[in-house]
Amino acid sequence: MPQTDARRSEAAPGAWLSRWTELRTSAASRSGLRWWTELPLLLMVYASYSAGRLLARGDTASAVDHGLEILRIEKALHLNAEHPLNRLFTREAWLGVPADFWYASLHYLVTPVILVWLFRSRAVRYRAARTWLMTSTMIGLIGFTLLPTCPPRLLSAGYGFVDTMAQYSSYGWWGGQASAPRGLGGMTNQYAAMPSLHVGWSLWCGVMLWRYGRTRVVRLAGIAYPLITTIVVMGTANHYFLDAVAGAAVMGVGLLLTPYVMRLTGRVKALLAARFARAAGASSSARSSIVSGGCQTSTGERIPRQRESRTGPGPEQGAEPGPEPGASPADAGEGAAAAAR
């Protein structure tokens, strides 16, 4: 019976997540994480994500068709949260302006802050959390590439959406074209609505705050942040409701793949370390053979042939080494005592 209960407890989803967190990330405490290795890695992934969004523009007509298809699916499912939220944010500037700041800024601020927090205070679990985020981001990039989608704000006015980012652009640092800084809107891929990584990243942040936060306020923030972000992306007409669902699904897939990604990267690192070790050993052996060739020293000698120069011909020339001139019997050791006898 105890074994059966243990097996049941291990099969529970919560137990699986806890087991994954503890087993797959315990190596982080032994690996000696360093910020100067982590920062370039994160910057490289973010640069790849940004470049992918820039390059994966797709065909505008197909992107619009995909957006309209999402609207038709939502209508069939009686999901229409975007329109009422967008009308509310458009009518009430005290809601629309903070929502635009939320959409344009927190996506790039909160996530790095939580990464740094985990790195400094939860280093044992940081590697798994970082790998989860990076894996999900790469999956989202695949979604942008395969399914370019026009956001609601870029549909024709007949569909009833208003671009709040353009409406309130005079209040913020972004331009009227996108959430990018003024003058850079044309350099971004505005047809990368599916999936919503704003929602995906906020969900990751929420899980980290809820799981590792020590106070009730921090845990409540972990619940509120992804929920408010979901409302914001729909109210500002940047994403459909199904975009938000897809963003959460991407994070779920990334979570499932994280143990395998960590295992694969661990094997790659081990192979590289072994190869470097063999190369270093071969190089050290080559240097050792060059230095020691014809220049061996015996124990106690600093310079080759030192003893021969000090004591005369060595044993191979038929002379026995004797004590140095002026040496005392005590310095001569047992050999001198035997000669005296």
* pLDDT for residue 31 is more than 70: no
| Mean local confidence (pLDDT), 265-280 | 80
The two three-digit tokens of residue 313, written as one number: 């011909």
Q: Measured between alpha carbons, how far is 164 from 236 in angstroms, rounded to an integer?
A: 5
Residue with the larger pLDDT of the pair 61 and 201:
201
Question: What pLDDT is recorded for position 85?
Answer: 96
CA gap 114, 126 in Å, rounded: 10
* pLDDT value of residue 89: 96
Percent residues over pLDDT 70 in the chain: 61
Q: What is the mean pLDDT of residues 193-212?
A: 94
C-alpha to C-alpha distances, 190 to 59, 239, 297, nearest whole angstrom:
12, 11, 73
For residues 112 and 205, what is the distance between their CA atoms, to the nearest angstrom?
A: 10
Q: What's the rounded Cα separation, in Å, for the pair 318 and 298? A: 19
Other beta carbons less than 10 A from residue 164's beta carbon: 24
Q: Is residue 92 predicted with pLDDT exceeding 90?
A: yes
The chain-wide mean pLDDT, for the chain, equals 76
| Distance from C-alpha of 136 to C-alpha of 138, rounded to nearest angstrom | 5
Residue 328: is its pLDDT beyond 90? no
Three-state SS string over 138-192 comes to HHHHHHHHHCCECCHHHCCHHHCCCCHHHHCHHHCCECCCCCCECCCHHHCCCCE
- Which band of pLDDT confidence, cut at 50, 70 and 90, is reported for residue 180? low
46-50-56 Cα angle (round to 5): 140
Question: Which parts of the chain fold into alpha helices (H)?
Answer: 2-11, 13-25, 28-31, 35-55, 60-76, 82-91, 93-101, 107-121, 123-146, 164-167, 197-212, 216-235, 241-292, 306-311, 329-332, 334-340
Q: What is the band of 114 on the pLDDT scale with cuts at 50, 70, 90?
A: very high
Q: pLDDT at position 242, please? A: 95
If you compute the radius of gyration of the chain from its CA atoms, what whole number of angstroms results? 34
Judging by beta carbons within 10 Å of its beta carbon (0-12, 13-18, 19+), is residue 144 exposed, middle or buried? Answer: buried
Preceding amide of 195 cis, omega within 30: yes
Q: What does DSSP assign to residue 1?
A: -
Output phi, psi for 119, to 5 deg: -65, -40
Burial grade of 105 (CB within 10 A; 0-12, 13-18, 19 or more): middle
- Indicate the pLDDT class of residue 14, thresholds 50, 70 and 90: low
Q: In this structure, which long-range contacts are made by residues 301-309, counting pairs with CB atoms below 8 Å and at least 24 apart in sequence?
A: none
Q: Give the whole-angstrom CA distance, residue 325 versus residue 176.
A: 98
* pLDDT tens, residue by residue, 287-298: 655 555 555 555
Q: Which residues contact 106 (CB under 8 A, 6 or more apart)?
A: 202, 229
Q: Which of 166, 168, 160 is nearest to 178 (CA)?
A: 166
In this prediction, residue 124 carries a pLDDT of 75
Token pair 């044992």: residue: 124
* Pairwise CA distance, residues 210 & 222, whole Å: 5
Tell me which of 332 and 267 has the higher pLDDT: 267
pLDDT of residue 69: 94
Q: Tens digit of pLDDT for each residue in 240-258? A: 999 999 999 999 999 999 9
Amino acid at residue number 282? A
- Whole-number pLDDT of residue 173: 75
